[in-house]
Structure 1
């Protein structure tokens, strides 16, 4: 069994990225209906689709920095709680994979296994998790057999249920979509995220300089 989020073969059931860069209106309408149904079932089960907070202990960028030295098949014994947007997911029988992305674009793999979470929690993951969802996971930081920095999940919780599908993360958005759907541009394109962060830093520096000069 693979231990990484590799792309599925043609015909393989998957929740990985759609094949086109931008879903059509009909596809969006259909997927939205499915996701709204999942949200209703989630709430009916007594869980929150948009909790006020989740118990994170660190961030994805911090995990990547601290554990960059790990080699393939390493374990750490360190338990972390992180949250990120699901940008890739693949479900198998007793092991599910998801790539969680932080706001700055950094990523960590989450591994949800029957051995760690049990059948009910594994089934719930397969039932409720979609691309675009914000998910909280808690578990041990490890490196997979192929060297992928991962969290072996022992607990998970939806932090924010997405009701609209994401575009293909490997394809460019049209210029119109970049303008009309700025949030998609920031999710998909690293250059867009860099520009926003750089502009914010420049503005902060200017304000600080003016304040120091009593302007």
Structure 2
């Protein structure tokens, strides 16, 4: 019999022992508990407390037992001996029941606070209740849970044993909450738009397909919220945002999960420059308020022990035109070359180009590999080719480009922003060019809405998962999504 099987049998035997003495090991509530954080914040010697959590450390010293329990807010030490549990009765059986507790058990404690000789705040246990018996052992206290595959599949264990992981997801929650507060203080209205749509629009991406039986209707999980939010601009909601789940039936990578969180924000009478300033202010505010610093350490620790890479979010953030960034990366004559010459140059600088890419896609592929991927500190790349952004307004001086930005930080796009296209005639032409022969993919209701008049507006999208990666220094999108999609075992 292997070691795990023996441990499982031992825990089952303890389960039977609890039941034999009349304790339901899964049966009772334990109301009116204090959190660990509040106990520590309001600590006072000899104060009576009622707390609960999961046992994550146990040290039996013979006459006394020390350990730690964990709740959502932190970890706290507890202490028990025969005298504290039984008083003058000195009931040895009660202490033996306490010794029957295992790592992973969820236990309620009543007791008084004191500080040990080493200065650690501790609960001296006078009463305890087994609230939920753990039938499986926790990962090793020494080795933790380091295998990424196991961490992602069994996130509940990851959260129990890895303090840094818990911290990341607490920070994620605080970041999203602070985004809402920041926007609402500036007059933006949070709205909800459909997740299932008859036409998947607002981005160029492969959708997930589903079917509504009652209407016998094929529907798509949304790839973006843009077209519905712009309908609200038409309807007179001048500052709107939605924190949304989007779905794209595409690959998995360090930066991509098929189900992801984004926020889209639209402001009437603004333009892309105003929205660039807005997103800069928002990200700096989040870094200062939630993280407490504008300098973010990220990436793996170098093997030579030198410091991790640092991202400096100090503003103002520079702006650079797309054309200039490509020329710096691929040569000042890039746009003077023939299409075939550009393909040849791409190969010379180490960028692999697929045979089916159009000429503007070749340039953008070089941009992604030689500009976006190597950018560390924030930079706004502006004035992209109109072929890349069909929902943005053309530049008045150069109609080959549109008034947009892409915010690049640490090798990825964090946020695009536009001066939104509100000319229904031009918008129809752009969308027809995008869908080609698949005219059934035209969102005629959106175009109809534009014909009623949409105010000039600025809009931005922010990948919330990538933003959390940035602010917490996480290396993979899977480290900031509680339950990322994984290939079945």
Where does residue 4 of structure 1 map in the other structure?
Answer: none
TM-score (norm 2): 0.35
Task: Find out whether 1:108 has 2:76 as its counterpart.
Answer: yes
Paired residue secondary structure (1:98): strand
Paired residue secondary structure (2:156): helix
Where does residue 12 of structure 1 map in the other structure?
Answer: none
Task: Find out whether 1:138 has 2:104 as its counterpart.
Answer: no
From 114, 120, 127, give the equivalent of 1:155.
127
From 59, 67, 70, give the equivalent of 2:35.
59
| Larger RCO (CA within 8 A; separation ≥ 6) | 1
Please report the RMSD computed on the Cα atoms of aligned residues, expressed in angstroms: 2.3
The alpha-carbon deviation at position 168 of structure 1 amounts to: 2.2
User: What aligned pairs does 1:92-103 form with structure 2 within 5 A after superposition?
Assistant: 92-103=61-72
Where does residue 180 of structure 1 map in the other structure?
Answer: 153
| Moved >3 Å (runs of 4+) | 201-212
> How far apart in 1 are the matches of 2:10 and 2:170?
34
Unaligned runs of 5+ in 2: 87-91, 192-489
Cα shift readout 1:59-107 (whole Å, capped 9, x = no counterpart): 111111222xx7xxxxx22110101111111113321111111224x22
**Highest CA radius of gyration, 1 or 2?**
2
Using the TM superposition, name which of 153-162 and 55-64 deviates more.
55-64
Where does residue 173 of structure 2 map in the other structure?
Answer: 200
- CA 37–195 in structure 1, closer or farther in 2 if over 3 Å, else same: same
Paired residue secondary structure (1:51): coil
- CA 214–99 in structure 1, closer or farther in 2 if over 3 Å, else same: closer
Where does residue 169 of structure 1 map in the other structure?
Answer: 141
Cα shift readout 1:23-79 (whole Å, capped 9, x = no counterpart): xx9333221111111112112211121134114431111111222xx7xxxxx2211
Unaligned runs of 5+ in 1: 1-24, 71-75
Where does residue 15 of structure 2 map in the other structure?
Answer: 39
Cα shift readout 1:145-178 (whole Å, capped 9, x = no counterpart): 2222111111011111111101123434211211
> How far apart in 1 are the matches of 2:32 and 2:102?
20
Matched-pair contact (CA < 8 Å) for 2:33–2:52 = no
The alpha-carbon deviation at position 206 of structure 1 amounts to: 5.7
> How far apart in 2 are the matches of 1:214 and 1:88?
44
> How far apart in 2 are the matches of 1:58 and 1:96?
22
> How far apart in 2 are the matches of 1:214 and 1:175?
36
